[in-house]
Every structure is written in structure tokens, then in C-alpha cells.
């Protein structure tokens, strides 16, 4: 009798754990970005873009040592972020000296309930390497791929801990170095030198258009990590002297590596055609012209 009850309890517990593990692995690091106020603040008016999430995306509050710095929508099939959203900040610290072999990974994607990102060398990652590699891109994917680890939320838009927090593989997508160091770099510099000084607050959403939904379509590294066909970005700035300024960019991750200036509405239309849903990058007032 007692054995039966214990067996029953054991089965219930096991079932519970399986359900919990499935929910964490498949579902999300968070169900909604606004669950964590610091995470919700990454978005203009606290509202995440509409039309970009799917059954394979997870919402990540990018947390380093107990503090959430920005938000990422991560596609677990493509193993790249669809976008990262953040507040543009002054960069007063230099790029942290972390080897790409030791950049951060996301335990909660690997089904491990640790809210802080973890460096690849930690025993937590090393002891669960298979789960990490299954659920996200890692350094080995990028090695010898001929492509750079392209930050969506760039390190030079932040300082100190917020800057370190951008060095996670969940904030990277394979990027041609000519785009990364060319026109896209000019856009990032434009945000720093022209937008930051004239705005009291600027929200940026930077994302990608995957080149295919399955490994049979588009370009992939090792059949694991999708190489996006485009990088895109949109910003919404509250001007210091009143009013607002909002613009978008579309950068081709292939020759001629051009970055086109678009209105937010134009970018939304392009994204809607690619993602098959109506897209709104800045839901709320005054968002698109």
C-alpha cells in the first residue's frame, strides 16, 4: 500500500517535472516581456513589436548578474535572434576583452532554470553542453564559417555591464564582414553621434530576415544556424526639443552590402511580406508615418 502510494507520488512528480521541462524548453524564458519591468522598458511605450513571434520563438530578458539589460526574441529553429530591443545609451567604456569562445549562452533555452546568462567556460554550460548546443548557436558554429558574429544590440551603444551583456550568442546572427564593418557600422555610428545627443530617449529594435525557415531553404551554417538575408533596424527617438523622430534601415547581408533608409511603415511592409503577418514595430501612438 505504502509502496503504491510512493510509486504514485513518484509518477506524479516525474510527470510534473516533464511538463515543467517541456514548458521551459519550448515556451519561453518569459511569457511576456512586460513580466519584468526592466525588460518591458526596452520597448517604446513598453510594447513589443507585433507580427514577428512564432511557435519557434522564445522571449529572452537578457539578464547578467541579476540585472536585465535588454530584450531578445530568439528563434530556436534558426538559432538566431529575430530582434533585440534596447534603449540607446552613451558608451563610455571600451569593448570588453572576452574571447568569442567564452561569450555568454542562455541556460533557460537549454531547459535549465537559471535566469542569468552564463559564460561558455562555466561548469553549468560544460556539464550540459548538449542541451546548450541543441537549443542555441555556440562559438563552434561560427568558427571557420567565413561570417562574423553580428551583434544585433551592439556593444558600442552601451557601457559597463550593459555592454558586457551584449556578448551573448542569443544576440548574434551570422553577418558578412563587409556589411558589419561597412554601411551597417556607419548606421550604428549615426545613432551614437547624431541621434543620441538630440534625443531624450531612443528605443531601437534591430533584427534580421532569416533566409529560410527550414534547412532546405536559404543558407545555413552546418545545417544548424540560419544566415539571414537582411539585417534591419528601426529607432524611435523622443526629441529633446519636443516631438519625435523615427526611421528604419534595411541592410543586405550579401553583395553589394547596401543599407537603405526606409520609413518605419516601409520596413513594416517588407517584414510583413517575409513573416506572413501584419507587423508593427512600435505599437502605440505616432508610430508610423
Ligand X SMILES: *[C@@H]1O[C@H](CO)[C@@H](O)[C@H](O)[C@H]1NC(C)=O
Residue 55 interacts with ligand X (CB under 6 A): yes or no: yes
Residue 72 interacts with ligand X (CB under 6 A): yes or no: no
Determine contact, residues 279/51, Cβ cutoff 8 Å: yes
Tell me the chain's radius of gyration from C-alpha atoms: 20
CA 72 to chain centre: 3
Q: Interacting stretch for ligand X, rule CB under 6 A, among 52-60, 154-162, 186-194, 259-267? A: 52-60
Place of cell 519625435: 244
| Region for residue 51 given its phi and psi (left: phi exceeds 0; alpha: psi -120 to 50; beta: otherwise) | left
Determine contact, residues 224/140, Cβ cutoff 8 Å: no
Query: What DSSP character marks residue 189?
Result: H
Name the minimum Å distance from CB 48 to ligand X.
Answer: 8
Q: Which is nearer to ligand X, 109 or 162 (CB)?
A: 109
Residue 123 interacts with ligand X (CB under 6 A): yes or no: no
Residue 246 CA to residue 100 CA, distance in Å, equals 33
Name the minimum Å distance from CB 33 to ligand X.
Answer: 9
Q: Which is nearer to ligand X, 190 or 275 (CB)?
A: 275
Q: Which is nearer to ligand X, 54 or 122 (CB)?
A: 54
Name the minimum Å distance from CB 53 to ligand X.
Answer: 4
Q: Interacting stretch for ligand X, rule CB under 6 A, among 12-20, 49-57, 95-103, 266-274? A: 49-57
Q: Interacting stretch for ligand X, rule CB under 6 A, among 15-23, 48-56, 93-101, 109-117? A: 48-56
Name the minimum Å distance from CB 75 to ligand X.
Answer: 12
Near ligand X by CB under 6 A: residue from 34, 54, 139, 140: 54
In sign, the C-alpha dihedral spanning 259, 209, 278, 35 is: negative
Residue 156 CA to residue 273 CA, distance in Å, equals 31
Candidates 168, 159, 147; CA nearest to 98 is: 168
Near ligand X by CB under 6 A: residue from 25, 36, 40, 53: 53
Name the minimum Å distance from CB 59 to ligand X.
Answer: 8
Q: Which is nearer to ligand X, 182 or 283 (CB)?
A: 283
Residue 46 CA to residue 197 CA, distance in Å, equals 22
Point out which residues bind ligand X (CB under 6 A).
Answer: 53-55
Amino acid at each position: 500500500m505504502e509502496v503504491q502510494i510512493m510509486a504514485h507520488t513518484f509518477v506524479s512528480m516525474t510527470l510534473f517535472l516533464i511538463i515543467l521541462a517541456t514548458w521551459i524548453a519550448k515556451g519561453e524564458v518569459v511569457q511576456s516581456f512586460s513580466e519584468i519591468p526592466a525588460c518591458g522598458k526596452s520597448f517604446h511605450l513598453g510594447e513589443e513589436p507585433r507580427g514577428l513571434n512564432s511557435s519557434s520563438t522564445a522571449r529572452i530578458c537578457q539578464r547578467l548578474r541579476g540585472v536585465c539589460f535588454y530584450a531578445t526574441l530568439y528563434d530556436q529553429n534558426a538559432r538566431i535572434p529575430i530582434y533585440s530591443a534596447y534603449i540607446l545609451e552613451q558608451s563610455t567604456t571600451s569593448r570588453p576583452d572576452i574571447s568569442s569562445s567564452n561569450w555568454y549562452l542562455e541556460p533557460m533555452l537549454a531547459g535549465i532554470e537559471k535566469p542569468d546568462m552564463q559564460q561558455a567556460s562555466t561548469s553549468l554550460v560544460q556539464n550540459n553542453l548538449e542541451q546548450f548546443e541543441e537549443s542555441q548557436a555556440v562559438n563552434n558554429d561560427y568558427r571557420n564559417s567565413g561570417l562574423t558574429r553580428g551583434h544585433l544590440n551592439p556593444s558600442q551603444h552601451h557601457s559597463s555591464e550593459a555592454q558586457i551583456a551584449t556578448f551573448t550568442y542569443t544576440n548574434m546572427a551570422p553577418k558578412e564582414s563587409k556589411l558589419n564593418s561597412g554601411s551597417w557600422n556607419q548606421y550604428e555610428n549615426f545613432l551614437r553621434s547624431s541621434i543620441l545627443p538630440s534625443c531624450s530617449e531612443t528605443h531601437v529594435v534591430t533584427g534580421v530576415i532569416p533566409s529560410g525557415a527550414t534547412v532546405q531553404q536559404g543558407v545555413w551554417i552546418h545545417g544548424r544556424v540560419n544566415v539571414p538575408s537582411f539585417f534591419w533596424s528601426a529607432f524611435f527617438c523622443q526629441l529633446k526639443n519636443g516631438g519625435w523622430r523615427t526611421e528604419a534601415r534595411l541592410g543586405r547581408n550579401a553583395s553589394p552590402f547596401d543599407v537603405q533608409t526606409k520609413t518605419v511603415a516601409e520596413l513594416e511592409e517588407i517584414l510583413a511580406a517575409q513573416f506572413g503577418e501584419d507587423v508593427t514595430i512600435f505599437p502605440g501612438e505616432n508610430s508610423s508615418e
